[in-house]
Amino acid sequence: MSEENIFSEVDEELRNERMRNMWRKYAPLFIGLALAVVLAVAAKEGWEYYQKSVSSKSSEQYFAAIDFVEQDNVVAAQEALNIVINEGSGKYPILAQFRQAALLLSEGKNQQAVTAYDALATSLSEKRLRDLALLFAANALVDSGDVAAVNARIGDFIASDNSLRIMAEEILGLTYYANGDLDKARETFARVLLNPQAQSASLARIDMYISQLVAQGAKAPSVGENNN
């Protein structure tokens, strides 16, 4: 192998790593946003139970489990979350299941996390929580590059006016990237640029993704796609 080819391969790997690092940096935003939504539901539920003089034990148990999460004590966190799931009231068992799946993902157990999120989506009756579970399952599948599996979970979000559409398209674009299809990744990201509901933080991220893709050989966006 020539020296030129060696440097070319190294440069390509550095670019790939940069894209992966960008995703790893911003992926927690999805988790934080979604958990905030679930927590808001749980807080509302907890307040209603409090007003009705029902024990706040579930709330205390849940936040005790979160303390273990923040201490990186995974075993204790899982055990504490299991208690909430089995004994908790209101929305706290659901919130605990979301946290358990997130712990699996943080440990690199992506397929187990996908299974956990899929099970949640199947069991939940509330649409916004079910959609969040599907979004998280898709997020856990990004590195696999399995476009079909991701589409099976969030394709409907993109084909509709679902409030999670922008995040779904970002996840799908990253999955195309992991699959090696740079042009489809760029096309998917470009749709976000044309969405009037996209926030500035999302647009800034998408711009970085597209710039990186073009640097790696993807087709440059048209003037209309870049008009954000």
Q: Where are the domains of the chain?
A: 1-140, 142-228
pLDDT computed for residue 36 by the predictor: 58
Instruction: Give the burial class of 57: count Cβ atoms within 10 A of its Cβ; 0-12 exposed, 13-18 middle, 19 or more buried.
Output: middle
Average the pLDDT over 88-112 and give the result.
88
Q: Tokens 């960008």 sit at which residue?
A: 22
Average the pLDDT over 33-44 and give the result.
56
Among the ranges given (27-41, 77-91, 132-146, 197-211), the one the predictor scored with the smallest mean pLDDT: 27-41
- CB of 34 closer than 8 Å to CB of 132: yes
pLDDT computed for residue 26 by the predictor: 54
pLDDT computed for residue 79 by the predictor: 93
Residue 23 above 80 pLDDT?
no
197 three-class SS: coil
pLDDT computed for residue 1 by the predictor: 45
Average the pLDDT over 49-65 and give the result.
66
Among the ranges given (18-27, 137-146, 218-227), the one the predictor scored with the smallest mean pLDDT: 18-27
Residue 13 above 60 pLDDT?
no
Across the chain, mean pLDDT equals: 79
Taking the C-alpha atoms of residue 226 and residue 191, their distance in angstroms, rounded to an integer, is 10
pLDDT computed for residue 212 by the predictor: 86
User: Would you give the distance in Å from CA 214 to the centre of its chain?
Assistant: 24
Average the pLDDT over 35-44 and give the result.
56
pLDDT computed for residue 111 by the predictor: 94
pLDDT computed for residue 106 by the predictor: 86
pLDDT computed for residue 197 by the predictor: 87
Taking the C-alpha atoms of residue 200 and residue 140, their distance in angstroms, rounded to an integer, is 25
Please report which confidence band the pLDDT of residue 54 belongs to, taking 50, 70 and 90 as the band edges. very low
Highest mean pLDDT pick, 60-69, 89-98, 117-126: 117-126
> Which of 78-86's residues contact partners 24+ apart within 8 Å by CB, and which partners?
78/103, 84/58
Q: Which residue would you say has higher pLDDT here, 53 or 31?
A: 31
Average the pLDDT over 148-157 and give the result.
96
- Between the CA of residue 148 and those of 59, 66, 93, 170, 179, what are the distances in Å? 38, 34, 31, 15, 11
Highest mean pLDDT pick, 9-18, 88-97, 174-183, 197-206: 174-183
Structure tokens at 204: 């800034």
Residue 50 above 50 pLDDT?
no
Taking the C-alpha atoms of residue 53 and residue 32, their distance in angstroms, rounded to an integer, is 30
